[in-house]
Amino acid sequence: MSKTVKKKATKTKEIVTAAPVEIAYKAFTKDFAGYGGFKFEVGKEYEAQGEIKACGNGFHTCENPFDTLDYHPLVDSDGNTSRFGIAEVSGDCHVEGNKKAHRRIKVTAEIGLAGFLKAGIDFLFQQSEHKTIIEKIKDVATGADVEASSGYNAKQASSGDNAQQASSGDNAKQASSGNYAKQASSGYNAQQEITGDFGVLSSVHARGKFKAKAGTLVSLVFFDKDEKTPIKFVTGKVGENGLNPDTWYDLDAKGEFREVV
């Protein structure tokens, strides 16, 4: 399976020196190596020598977790899912486009794919309206076929591998039978179903529900009673912690997964 990593056009170039400690996100290979092959360890601090320059020298991270997919495919050509971490970065910094090169880095934790998904949508929630969130989620597609809809009552279906679907309309229904499917919806009452393996799905509005195969990573947002104020992300993996395969689930009044009967 071939994956093409999409890179955004560079819009800004800026040198910042003696930057304070910042929190950023980084993607890694299955061996926990960066884009250039340097292997990292959680909890260990590294320092680069010489002039710091993006794509030239330094440790690279992104402020937006989803931007890391511009430089690492979500799934590589051998079927390995990228790994993700949260890092503390400091020292000289060179900014180019959506990435930064830093003098020093310390990977404080590996967050896993579910944690990456939660962090990315958290970041977008802080900046965007729901429709823009879905458009940005769609933008991180790494070479897969993409379907998108912003209308009410949208219905989307895909049978190919690596399908990516996004909908911002209410009452959307999305279904995919291919492996490695990724689905996202921001409308009320979204129903999402993945029947293939290695899927990822997320709903960022109230009353979302899903059904998927074992191994699928899922994320729903729990809202207050007014269904306008997001309280927390609820994430899980189908086949673990009581989430049964091929079963519809939504969230109960306490923000916990429940079987839809």
Q: Give me the pLDDT at residue 16, please.
A: 45
**Minimum mean pLDDT among 61-75, 141-155, 194-208: which range?**
141-155
- From CA 190, how far away is CA 169, in angstroms rounded? 8
pLDDT the model gives residue 193: 85
Q: What is the largest CA-CA distance in the chain?
A: 62
Helix (H, G, I), strand (E, B) or coil at 220: strand
Q: What is the mean pLDDT of residues 45-72?
A: 89
CB 217 within 8 A of CB 181: no
The residues facing 194 across adjacent strands are 176, 212
What is the DSSP-derived secondary structure letter of residue 70? G
Q: What is the mean pLDDT of residues 32-37?
A: 86
Confidence of residue 250 (pLDDT cuts 50, 70, 90): very high
Three-state secondary structure readout of 39-73: ECCCCCEEECCCCCECCCECEEEECCHHHHHHCCC
Res 152 pLDDT > 60: no
User: Among the ranges 74-78, 100-104, 118-122, 161-165, which has the highest mean pLDDT value?
Assistant: 100-104
Query: Quick one: average pLDDT of 18-46?
Result: 88
Q: What contacts 123, CB < 8 A, 6 or more positions away?
A: 63, 64, 65, 66
Query: pLDDT higher for 82 or 103?
Result: 103
pTM: 0.52
The amino acid present at 150, given as its one-letter code, is S
Owner of token pair 């579910």: 114
* pLDDT tens sequence across 207-216: 889 999 988 8
220: closest CA among 210, 229, 228?
Answer: 210
What pLDDT does residue 233 have?
Answer: 82
E strands in 29-114: 45-47, 59-61, 83-96, 99-110
Cα dihedral: 35, 38, 44, 48 (round 10): -90
pLDDT beyond 60 at 223: yes
68 confidence band (pLDDT: 50, 70, 90): confident
- The answer on pLDDT for 34 being more than 80 is yes
> Where do the DSSP E strands lie in 29-82?
45-47, 59-61
Q: Is the pLDDT of residue 138 over 80?
A: no
Most confident of 47-51, 109-113, 117-121, 219-223: 47-51
pLDDT for 77: 73
Structure confidence at residue 252 (pLDDT): 95
